[in-house]
Every structure is written in C-alpha cells, then in structure tokens.
Amino acid sequence: MEIIILPDAAAASKAAAQILLDLVTHKPDAVLGLATGGTPLALYSELIAAHKDHAFDFSRVTTFNLDEYIGLPEEHPQSYHAFMHENLFRHINIQPARIHIPDGNAADIKAHCIAYEQAIRDAGGVDLQLLGIGSDGHIGFNEPTSSFGSRTRTKTLTRQTIKDNARFFEDDPALVPKHCITMGIATILEARCALLLAFGKGKADAIAATVEGPLSAMIPASALQLHPNAKIIIDQDAAAKLTFADYYQWAYANKPE
C-alpha cells in the first residue's frame, strides 16, 4: 500500500483526480471502476472541470460501477444510475455504450451478476478502481464478513445501513432498499490499481484497521493489503489513528522518481 496523507479533502480529491487523468492521458481507452457516495464528488468535479476547461477527452473510456440497489427504479434520484449521470456522466463526453452499472431490476439477477463479471473481463479488466470506505470498513457493498474470494453478487444490507438510508426516502419509506448488487472483493482486487479515498474523523478507525490491522473479513477493506498497487489517499482527520502516519508522510515526501 502507498499511504498518501494530505491536508484536507480538497487536496486529496485533487491528487486522486490527477492520478485518474494521468492514466487516461497515457491510456485513452482506460477501464475505470467507479464509486458513488459523498466521498468521490469532489474528484468527479475535477474530472468535469478538466473536460470543460481543457477539453479532456473521455470518449474512449469504459466504466464499471461498484454497485446498485435491487428493485429501485433507475430514474429514482437515490439510484446509483441517477447519481452517476447527475454527478459525472452527463457532464463529460463518455459514450453511453461504454457505461456499465449493475442492473438492480434485471429479470435474472444471478445471471446478470455473472454477465457483469464477464463484461469486465471482456473489456480487458479494470485499470483503476475508485473506492470509498464505510465507517465499518466496508468497500462497495461488501459488508463485514464478506469473503475475500467474493465476486459480483447480491448482498443483504445490514439493519444499520437500511436505517441510515431511510433519511433519503422520507417521501416513500417503502422504497428503502434492503438488497443490492455489488462487485465482490476478489473482483476489486483484480483491478490493476486500487485507489481508496477517505475523509474525516469518522473514517479514522476504519483506515487504521485497513492499513495497519490484521487481514480480516470483519474489515473488508483490509483485503487491499494484498493488492500490489493500492493507493490510500486520505486527509489529516482520517489519518488521525495511524501509528505510522509520520513515516507515511516522510515516505511520500521522499518518493523516488
């Protein structure tokens, strides 16, 4: 793992965006694994700005999203289809046919999950997988106890996750999802680069467990210790409980060319 500690979320998001932009510059047909939630929003804003201000070209990029709710209409504002189009896709020149998001309304969910894995393989694999992390250490919707060998599949959300999500569905509580489709941990680990972002004191325990704790299914993100090219980009607050924070900062400042 490379641990990159920056002063704040804005600086961390900018640095992460630059890694992604550099990849697409050198490989215009790059395959990107994308994430939802609040953490990547500033990064997506950087990508949009690069396209609008500097005509950065995303036309040959292919994307695969980590997850989606089951049974929620794609047009619902809380669906991850809606999230991605609102916060990134409609603002850049990506080709719709190159966008892949799990279909939570597929007639045969199990077959769809198998096909999603095959589509990733057919695309040549993911070059860079963007990740956030939950306060309990989950990545994607791989909740604690998820197998390190897991693949794209259905997952039942925890009661806490369902409770946390209820605030987004105040107009129709019956629509709060209880199930999802998520890439598995083994799928994530096959990406050529894993790029995890985390900001704020609420993520400090999860980051410490991920980076310096033992490998454990109870902390799914700890599987990234097994990845040959994992970059953890965090702000000072998220780094607050890292025992070797000073070393990580020294190593980054003295990184060889």
Token representation of residue 184: 């598995």
Annotation marks residue 108 as catalytic: no
Tell me if 232 sits within 8 A of 198, measured CB to CB. Answer: yes
Annotation marks residue 29 as catalytic: no
Tokens 């467990």 correspond to 209
| Candidate list 138, 190, 227, 235, residue with the active-site label | 138
Token representation of residue 17: 């965006």
| Candidate list 46, 68, 143, 190, residue with the active-site label | 143
| Candidate list 57, 74, 103, 136, residue with the active-site label | 136
Token representation of residue 239: 């780094």
Is residue 171 packed enough to be buried (19+ CB in 10 Å), middle (13-18) or exposed (0-12)? exposed
Annotation marks residue 122 as catalytic: no
Annotation marks residue 143 as catalytic: yes
Kindly list the catalytic residues.
Answer: 67, 136, 138, 143
